[in-house]
Chains A and B, each alone.
Chain A
Amino acid sequence: NAGVMQNPRHLVRRRGQEARLRCSPMKGHSHVYWYRQLPEEGLKFMVYLQKENIIDESGMPKERFSAEFPKEGPSILRIQQVVRGDSAAYFCASSPNRDQPQHFGDGTRLSIL
């Protein structure tokens, strides 16, 4: 039973490019959460999604960031026109419902040149 799968593990982009981070939740999990860990800082909530719905995006920067969790396929965190400050580790977690513990992926380390 595979865990939460994130890819890529490492992603390098130049300023102004787009970054797409993918998250496949555990089988049977329909709740997905994205978190960001800036260098030398703690984890911060970004967005919570259920299949095809964004439930809470209060932690997402207002511009350039978007997330989706389509009916089929992985959840995608998309960052347009990346800047140096977007360099961070992005973690995805999933749970079968909102009251169960979250299972975390290994993260995607995004580096902006």
Chain B
Amino acid sequence: KNEVEQSPQNLTAQEGEFITINCSYSVGISALHWLQQHPGGGIVSLFMLSSGKKKHGRLIATINIQEKHSSLHITASHPRDSAVYICAASPISGGYNKLIFGAGTRLAVHP
């Protein structure tokens, strides 16, 4: 079993839909990261959070430390949101920002 699990693996949505991507982890963490990888491969860091909730534009990330679970929500989805979304954990044992990655969720938003 991977230390960081994401679901779903693939997600298709219609423009305007509310989207949720889930991430569960089994290690103790100092932080949880959400990344976005576009076709062509560049990676953008969306959020780094260790508790509660963060919001940036139409993106919201939440984390429940007790349940070792995080969610990424996209409100009013748009075709330009189509990308692979990756959850990554910074394990406490690493002592620094070493990341353990989930396998990614491939999102396709259709007009």
Q: Which residues of A contact B (CB under 8 A)?
A: 31, 33, 35, 41-45, 48, 55-56, 89, 91, 93, 95, 98-107, 109
Complexed CA–CA distance, A105 and B44 (Å): 9
The answer to whether A42 touches B104, judged by C-beta atoms less than 8 angstroms apart, is yes
The residues of A that contact B97 with a CB separation of less than 8 Å are 31, 33, 95, 98-102
The residues of A that contact B43 with a CB separation of less than 8 Å are 91, 93, 104, 106-107
Q: Are A98 and B86 also in contact (CB < 8 A) when A42-B103, A104-B42, A107-B43 are? A: no
Q: Using a Cβ cutoff of 8 Å, how many contacts connect chains A and B?
A: 60
The answer to whether A45 touches B86, judged by C-beta atoms less than 8 angstroms apart, is no
Our pick among A98, A106, A107 for the contact of B96 (Cβ within 8 Å) is: A98
Residue of B nearest to A100 (CB): B97
Our pick among A33, A42, A98, A101 for the contact of B33 (Cβ within 8 Å) is: A101
Q: Which 3 A-B pairs have CB atoms at the shortest separation, nearest pair first?
A: A98-B96, A104-B43, A106-B42
0 or 1 for each of B73-97: is its CB under 8 Å from A? (1 = yes): 0000000000000101000001111
Within 8 A of A (CB), among B33-59: 33, 35, 41-45, 48
Residue of A nearest to B94 (CB): A56
The residues of B that contact A35 with a CB separation of less than 8 Å are 99, 101
The answer to whether B45 touches A104, judged by C-beta atoms less than 8 angstroms apart, is yes
Complexed CA–CA distance, A101 and B43 (Å): 13
The residues of A that contact B45 with a CB separation of less than 8 Å are 101-104
Complexed CA–CA distance, A95 and B97 (Å): 9
Our pick among A31, A45, A109 for the contact of B99 (Cβ within 8 Å) is: A45
The answer to whether B44 touches A55, judged by C-beta atoms less than 8 angstroms apart, is no
The residues of A that contact B94 with a CB separation of less than 8 Å are 56
Known: A33-B97, A89-B41. 15 other contacts (CB 8 A): A31-B96, A35-B101, A42-B101, A42-B104, A48-B98, A55-B96, A98-B97, A102-B97, A102-B99, A104-B42, A104-B43, A106-B41, A106-B42, A106-B43, A109-B41
Sampled A-B contacts (26; CB under 8 Å):
A33-B97, A33-B98, A33-B99, A35-B101, A41-B103, A42-B102, A42-B104, A43-B101, A45-B98, A48-B96, A48-B98, A56-B98, A89-B41, A93-B43, A99-B30, A99-B97, A101-B97, A102-B33, A102-B99, A103-B45, A104-B35, A104-B42, A104-B43, A104-B44, A104-B45, A107-B42
